[in-house]
Amino acid sequence: MSTLIIENPCQLQGTVNISCAKNAILPVIAASLLTEDKCTLEEVAALEDVKVMVEVVNSLGAEVNLNKDNTLEIAASNIVNHDTAYELIRKMRASFLIMGPMLARVGKIRISLPGGCAIGSRPIDLHLKGFSAMGANITLGHGYIEAQADKLKGESIYLDFPSVGATENIMMAACLAEGMTIIENAAEEPEIVDLANFLSKMGAKIKGAGTDTIRIEGVQRLKGTTHVAIPDRIEAGTFMMAAAATRGDVLVDGVVPEHVKPITAKLKEMGVEVFEYEKSIRVKATERLKSVDIKTMPYPGFPTDMQSPIMSAVCVAKGTSVITETVFENRFMHINELKLMGAKIKVDGRSAIIEGVERLSGAKVKATDLRAGAALIISGLCAEGRTEISEVYHIDRGYINIEEKMRKLGANIIRRE
């Protein structure tokens, strides 16, 4: 199993290019099951999670080619299977996103309860409530869900919480349902808008994506299309935070500045200079960061996926910061690892109180989940001595060539296999 080794503090300098968003590509791959035509996705980052999603749709009968030029072709002309392998679904929660497309296209699916990062219980009740309201017959047992629907029917669905996955799953199912589906209290994340754009190019009739009410009028069939997913706002945010924490000067290129606004706002509050351009953002920090209070919220609030990276930054800020996690109930596993590096953190329920220290010290730590791993890299870049991060496979699920990108900015980081 590989390890990332970081030696001594550095100041990141230079330009980093951001890849396509993992959380946009995964639902788009699932949505390709809605048509028998070929869909072509361009500029796809060959992340581990993307490879899992490719295996999932392939296991159902779709022909999939991930080419060397990062083009992903998916042709689900024949869906031969509606039973998904337990091992694949357990690996990644997002594989559950095939449920909506499968119900809409073939009217049945057997799928195990999903896995993914161990960041709380992460139920799927909102997805299931939506499908039930649309007329699907759902049974649960032995860790599996079986669902069947001859023809889904449009319905008004109010989500108790604006779940990203439930909004996407229901939106995809609704595209081929009979009549109008209205999703209220829908998630407003940019990835929802990207999926809606992809579905619209396939011929779906969707209005309101990016607001809390989405209206989908079902159509008879969808056609193939070509798509480039939006840039990864969390990868961009991670590099923005790393630049700030190391008091560096980095141009984060290939982003949509609007998508990272909550991150930009916090960086400015921390005393960092942030320059926004059309498709890039420059982050320049010359002084020690100021402490800041943060509460994670659904978009356009501060993203939960940036909670651990910003915690690493405030660990070396001047003063005391309070970070409150409201989206997931168990997303503080990185704290024990940060403490091994000399961070001063106390947990009080869903809040972490962080007293900034001048410098962290390198230690052997482990990535407990994807974003926790990214946070440890940032901390390693601010630490005296040697940091060794194990369980790097978590990081590879969502960041492509992270050590190469960091090295190009001057970080002393290597991967040992």
327 touches ligand UD1 by CB under 6 A: yes
Q: Does 136 bind ligand UD1 (CB under 6 A)?
A: no
Give 50 or 289: the residue with its C-beta nearer to ligand UD1: 50
Shortest distance (Å) from residue 27 CB to ligand UD1 = 7
| Residue 368 touches ligand UD1, criterion: CB under 6 A | no
Q: Is 93 in the site for ligand UD1 (CB under 6 A)?
A: yes
Residue identified by tokens 């005393």 is 271
Q: With binding defined as CB under 6 A, does residue 233 bind ligand UD1?
A: no
* Segment 373 to 402, residues that bind ligand UD1, using CB under 6 A: none
CA distances to 63, 97, 129, 187, 306 from 167, in Å:
26, 10, 12, 6, 21
State yes or no: residue 94 binds ligand UD1 (CB under 6 A). yes
Q: Determine if 19 is a binding residue for ligand UD1 (CB under 6 A).
A: no
Residue nearest to ligand UD1 (CB): 165
Binding piece for ligand UD1, criterion CB under 6 A, among 159-167, 250-258, 340-348, 378-386 = 159-167
Which run of H or of E encompasses 213? strand 213-217
Q: Is there a contact between 374 and 349 (Cβ–Cβ < 8 Å)?
A: no
Which residue lies nearer to ligand UD1 by CB, 125 or 404? 125
Nearest by Cα to 59 from 42, 35, 76: 76
Interaction pattern, residues 329-358, with ligand UD1; x per rule: CB under 6 A: ------------------------------
Q: Determine, following the binding rule CB under 6 A, whether residue 280 of this chain makes contact with ligand UD1.
A: no
Choosing from 161, 275, 277, 393, the residue that interacts with ligand UD1 (CB under 6 A) is 161
Q: Is the preceding omega at residue 101 within 30 degrees of 0, hence cis?
A: no
Q: State which of residues 4, 6, 18, 26 lies at the interface with ligand UD1 (CB under 6 A).
A: 26
Q: Does residue 165 interact with ligand UD1 by CB under 6 A? A: yes
Whether 354 and 332 have beta carbons less than 8 Å apart is answered as no
Q: Of these residues, 10, 117, 315, 382, which one is catalytic?
A: 117
10 Å Cβ neighbour count for 160?
Answer: 10
| Beta-sheet pairing, 13-17 with 249-253 | parallel
In whole angstroms, the minimum distance from the beta carbon of 185 to ligand UD1 comes to: 12
Q: Is 295 exposed, middle or buried (0-12, 13-18, 19+ CB in 10 A)?
A: middle
Token pair in block for residue 349: 């329920």
Site for ligand UD1 (CB under 6 A): how many residues? 21
Interface map 104-133 toward ligand UD1 (x if CB under 6 A): ----------------x-xxxxxx------
Burial of 78 (0-12, 13-18, 19+ CB in 10 A): exposed
328 near ligand UD1, judged by CB under 6 A: yes
Sheet of strand 3-7: strand arrangement = 364-366, 386-390, 3-7, 413-416
- Beta carbon of residue 93, minimum distance to ligand UD1 (angstroms, whole number): 5
Task: Pick between residue 54 and residue 250 the one whose CB is nearest to ligand UD1.
Answer: 54
Active site residue 20: no
302 binds ligand UD1 (CB under 6 A): no
Quote the CA–CA distance of 397 and 365 in Å, as a whole number.
18
Between CA 201 and CA 359 the distance in angstroms is: 50
Report how far residue 176's alpha carbon sits from residue 153's, in angstroms, rounded to the nearest whole number. Answer: 9
Catalytic residue ranges: 117
**Footprint on this chain of ligand UD1 (rule: CB under 6 A):** 23, 26, 93-94, 120, 122-127, 161, 163-166, 191, 304-305, 327-328
